[in-house]
């Protein structure tokens, strides 16, 4: 364990801890009113649940750190099969929240298999394309994971969970694009994918997006100008209240715990709209610090991927960086009214047990890649010294 801790990336660990701790503080601040007034529960209920998930994920993450990345192909394949089965279970007997049947209940807790599938597909893609890197001149080997991903995306879409479907699909497309393979195969595959996406969009448009729920259609098609008279009490209510929170915060904020918009004006204050509460309480100054930490953590992950001694290690790191970046863009785009609301959590800060576990495991895999990078470098230096010593004896 000491050897493992010695070789993990300390800056990444420190930044992660800072963000997770700040996230816990903000979840407590943003959720205590909702917990008491809406659910008649303890003001600490969401904080305690998030803390439980975070500690549990960290304990399991420490165990995962001991597994070498060359075992990830087998493990991710098993995890993918199990998660697909869980997605079918959810479809049949899952728990419904926010018009989507996406959760499996375990006593007082609930887990969302569609959150886990995002990380699983990153690791699976990374290991699959590394394992078959000498066979990627064949369309059957190249497109097999993509075809499987299309089926998975369909299952998630019909839950219906539009936000997770979009992020999952983006991850699959981006992961495929960064895999080293023949340009001709990649070009034809991308052309085919664009064609399929166009067909889906045209089909949905021609049916008036009838496959989507009314709430999804409103969020997807009518997200502009949220504070207008027509939208303030309907589709634009949450975003407009987020604007009020951000405006209240100003430059320095109103102070921790002093948000007024969390008093049920923002119904998802501790989840989708937690950044609005953050800006209200710590202002533009605090928000700027968060952006800097996001920039540093993504940059650190990309550096570890660049320095990776294996292709699978690089792809895992790049995939995790994309996962965090996409979540940040989609969540904040919705909060600021630049993108439709999709119910996507903000990394490190939003309440959500499944995404908390996914994020901790993502960072664990990146740390494992860094450990292997360091061990490889140490072995190379050791061998160089031994060769130098042998030459000296001669």
More confident site: 4 or 174: 174
For a pLDDT cut of 70, what percent of the chain falls above it? 91
Q: Which of 142, 170, 141 shows the shortest CA–CA distance to 156?
A: 170
| pLDDT tens by residue, 331-374 | 999 888 888 887 889 999 999 999 999 999 999 999 999 999 99
> Does 131 have pLDDT greater than 80?
yes
Distance CA 317, CA 310 (A): 11
Task: State yes or no: pLDDT of 192 exceeds 90.
Answer: no
Residue 370 is predicted with a pLDDT of: 95
For residues 108-135, give the mean pLDDT: 91
Cα-flanking dihedrals φ and ψ of residue 104, to 5°? -115, 125
For the record, the structure tokens of 192 come out as 């085919």
The Cα–Cα gap between 33 and 269 comes to 10
The percentage of residues in the chain with a pLDDT greater than 90, rounded to a whole number, is 51
pLDDT at position 394 is 59
What local confidence, expressed as pLDDT, does residue 204 receive? 67
pLDDT, tens digit (0-9, with 9 covering 90-100), for 247-273: 999 999 999 888 999 887 887 789 889
- Per-residue confidence (pLDDT) for residue 166, from 0 to 100: 87
- Label residues 23-56 b or e (16+ Cβ within 10 Å = b): bbbbbbbbbbbbbeeeeeeeeebbbebbbebbee
Read off the pLDDT of each residue in 80-106 and give the average, rounded to a whole number.
83
**Long-range contacts: 58-66, Cβ < 8 Å, 24+?**
58/360, 60/361, 61/360, 61/361, 61/363, 61/364, 62/1, 64/361, 64/364, 64/365, 64/368, 65/4, 65/8, 65/364, 65/367, 65/368, 65/371, 66/4
Select from 292, 392, 345 the least CA-distant residue to 98: 345
Q: Cα Rg for the chain, rounded, in angstroms? A: 23
Range with the poorest average pLDDT among 28-42, 93-107, 148-162, 214-228: 214-228
pTM: 0.91
pLDDT band at 290 (very low <50, low <70, confident <90, very high): very high
Can you tell me the distance from the alpha carbon of 86 to that of 306, in angstroms, rounded to the nearest whole number? 34
Instruction: Assess whether pLDDT exceeds 80 at residue 86.
Output: yes
pLDDT at 217: 58
pLDDT in tens, 157-172: 888 788 888 899 999 9
> Cβ neighbours of residue 166 under 8 Å, at least 6 residues apart?
330, 342
Q: Which of 176, 207, 171 is nearest to 192 (CA)?
A: 176
């Amino acid at each position: 364990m000491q050897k493992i801790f010695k070789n993990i990336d300390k800056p990444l660990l420190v930044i992660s801890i800072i963000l997770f701790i700040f996230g816990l503080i903000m979840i407590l601040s943003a959720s205590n009113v909702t917990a008491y007034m809406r659910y008649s529960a303890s003001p600490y209920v969401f904080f305690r649940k998030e803390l439980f998930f975070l500690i549990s994920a960290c304990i399991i993450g420490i165990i995962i750190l001991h597994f070498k990345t060359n075992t990830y192909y087998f493990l991710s394949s098993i995890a993918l099969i199990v998660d697909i089965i869980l997605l079918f279970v959810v479809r049949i007997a899952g728990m419904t929240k926010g018009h989507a049947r996406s959760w499996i209940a375990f006593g007082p807790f609930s887990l969302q298999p569609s959150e886990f599938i995002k990380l699983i597909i990153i690791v699976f893609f990374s290991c699959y394309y590394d394992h078959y890197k000498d066979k990627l001149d064949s369309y059957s080997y190249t497109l097999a994971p993509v075809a499987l991903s299309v089926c998975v995306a369909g299952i998630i879409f019909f839950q219906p969970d539009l936000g997770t479907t979009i992020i999952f699909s983006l991850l699959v497309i981006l992961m495929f694009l960064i895999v080293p393979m023949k340009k001709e195969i990649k070009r034809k595959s991308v052309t085919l994918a664009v064609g399929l996406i166009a067909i889906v969009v045209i089909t949905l448009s021609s049916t008036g997006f009838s496959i989507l729920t009314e709430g999804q259609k409103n969020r997807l098609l009518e997200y502009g100008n949220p504070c207008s008279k027509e939208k303030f009490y309907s589709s634009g209510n949450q975003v407009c209240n987020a604007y009020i929170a951000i405006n209240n915060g100003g430059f320095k904020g109103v102070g921790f715990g002093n948000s007024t918009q969390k008093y049920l004006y923002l119904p998802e204050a501790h989840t989708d709209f937690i950044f609005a509460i953050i800006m209200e309480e710590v202002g533009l100054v605090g928000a700027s610090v968060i952006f800097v930490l996001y920039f540093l953590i993504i940059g650190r992950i990309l550096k570890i991927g660049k320095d990776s001694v294996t292709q699978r290690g690089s792809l895992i790191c790049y995939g995790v960086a994309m996962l965090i970046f996409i979540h940040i863009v989609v969540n904040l785009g919705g909060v600021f009214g630049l993108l439709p609301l999709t119910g996507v959590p903000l990394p490190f800060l939003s309440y959500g047990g499944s995404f908390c576990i996914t994020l901790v495991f993502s960072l664990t895999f990146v740390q494992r890649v860094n450990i292997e990078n360091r061990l490889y470098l140490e072995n190379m230096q050791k061998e160089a010294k031994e060769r130098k010593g042998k030459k000296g004896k001669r």
